[in-house]
Amino acid sequence: MAASVDLSRITFIVMREMRGPLIALLTVYSVSILGMVFIPGIEVNGKVEYMSIFHAFYFMTYTATTTGFGEIPYPFSDAQRFWAILCLYISVITWFYAIGSIIRLFQNPFLLRALSEWQFSRGVQRIEQPFVIVCGFGDTGSVLMRGLSDYGLPAVVIDNDEERIKALQLRDYTVATPSFCGDASVPKHLLEAGLRRSNCKAVIAITNSEEVNLKISALTRLLNPKVGIITMSKVEVFEETLITLGGEVHIVDPFKIFAKVLAAAMHNPGFYAFNKWLVREKGATLSQYTSPPKGTWIICGYGRMGHEVNRVLSKYGIQTAVIDPHDSKEEEHIDQYIVGRSTSKTLGLAGIESAVGIISGTDDDGHNLGILLNARYFNKNLFTIVRQNNHENEIAFKATTVDMIMQPTLVAARKILFLLIAPLLKKFFYYLLENKPGRQQEMEAVIHSLREKVGNRVPHLITVHFTREKAKAVIELLDNNKKVTLRDLIRDPRAREKQLDLVFFVVKSAAQEIVLPPETYEIQENDQVLFCGTGLSSRLFNASINSAYKMYYIQYGVYPPRSYLANWFIARREKKKRLG
């Protein structure tokens, strides 16, 4: 529908701009051809020859290119030559007028926009596999698109910054990425992006405006109640509105996410290392844990990040001192609140020399770096956490050798990526972080298994849905009343006595969700399985569940015959056994 509408707009603009030139060309050529037809030519054998309409049209056609092929079918008379001179000058002037109109046409911003919309909607229609719509291509969108490309999930991008769209079109993504420069909060653009297509998986609102994100989310729910919504919001009032939209809605607040991660790092260093390793953070390893110390912490900047961090630290009984230029009216537990900028004086009042850590969390990168340098002058043993607002300042922040860098765009992008490729991971994390006996030992066992099977290789999180389209061979076995266990699926299809480098996290069936399922679990149709492993093992796993030949070998240790004669012989022998 959108493509046809855009095509009609293009046709209308072209006809409107070229109507005058086309009429002028038709008039000039019609009069010229008629003149050549009715003007008498030379006498041949005593008879005056006249040009036919075809010859007159042919003459005017090749003279339009300013190349002459001679006078046809006979040499012209003087009257014909005089008329040809007039026609040549008039047609040249008309062509200059037409060419100028064509140039103006292709500079018309409305035509260029209509062409862009048409190409965009056509590109969206060519996507056959599940895809997502990304509204906003700032730092968060850029990081997210790289992750989606690495996992092979196509995306459609809308952003109102033309320079960002041009930058996107130069990226080396491995999946289709149609993009359009426009306002994502306009319903027409969402429809052009494929919102109502059956393979649209989710709409992701990550623009720089909270109001625009809210509007996109509301429009999405109205235009397609079945599609998922993921929106980035840092304002509690908007979050309350988003929750009421109904359906599948995920609100991503990078500051709340980081506060939870910080709490996990303090009370469960193994989980923090595990999380960093899963998101493929540079230098992350399962063998080294980062554990922030417990004691007095200084929070510089009491905005959204300061609020969330202070709330979490206070919840665990950790003393905090807050420095901010604005007086706080929040009814929260703050041990010491100092009004002012984070200078040597205010840091001294906050007890910088006896503090165990400092959080530099303002919305200015230069100010954050200055606070760290100033704080280290008084206490070199501080555990340092800094907020990086702009992705372009990454080199400067890494040069400071801080213990933890909080980049809101990166935190949000990773959270959204997990929601798309591994929705069951949330359940897995909640299970590991539950304050119950044995959870710490279970986490250590998971980390130990991942350390052995994946090690220093890049981890791949995979969610497999056992349907007829995505696990054909397994469903065929289930239809024949055969049992398929996780132990079978983890066998290497090249040598079944070996296991693939995979660790199962969660199994979700129609009746239950099982975290860390046993290998004896029997797969059922429509089950979802979340696992982590290497890229090669993931590809071998996917090949096995879709190949009846490989599944037969995995279960029985022999390869089934492929020829028609061998299959006929085996079927005949089985029949004799049943009858005999």
**382 vs 235: which has the higher pLDDT:** 382
- Report how far residue 227's alpha carbon sits from residue 198's, in angstroms, rounded to the nearest whole number: 9
Task: Average the pLDDT over 120-146 and give the result.
Answer: 90
Four-CA torsion 158, 164, 170, 174, nearest 10 degrees: -40
Query: What is the per-residue pLDDT across 190-202, written as a single tens digit (0 to 9) for each?
Result: 998 999 999 999 9
Per-residue pLDDT band at 150 (split at 50, 70, 90): confident
pLDDT at residue 566 greater than cutoff 60: no
Q: Is the pLDDT of residue 512 over 50?
A: yes
pLDDT surpassing 90 at residue 133: yes
Per-residue pLDDT for 141 more than 50? yes
**Are 336 and 322 a contacting pair, CB within 8 Å?**
yes
- pLDDT tens-digit profile of 30-84? 999 999 999 998 888 878 888 999 999 988 888 887 777 778 888 888 898 899 8
Domains and CATH numbers, the chain: 2-109 (1.10.287), 127-252 (3.40.50.720), 292-421 (3.40.50.720), 438-564 (3.30.70.1450)
For the segment 419-456, what is each residue's pLDDT rounded down to a tens digit? 898 889 888 988 888 878 888 888 888 888 998 898 88
Residue 244 predicted with pLDDT over 80: no
Kindly report the number of other CB atoms within 10 A of residue 53's CB atom. 11
Q: Are 382 and 376 in contact (CB under 8 A)?
A: yes
Whole-angstrom distance, CA of residue 461 vs CA of residue 421: 7
- pLDDT for 579 equals 64
Q: Please, what is the average pLDDT of the chain?
A: 85
Q: Is the pLDDT of residue 135 over 60?
A: yes
CA dihedral sign, ordered 34, 36, 37, 39: positive
Give, as one character, the DSSP assignment of residue 522: B
Q: 229 with 250: CB under 8 angstroms?
A: yes
| Strands annotated E in 305-356 | 320-324, 336-339
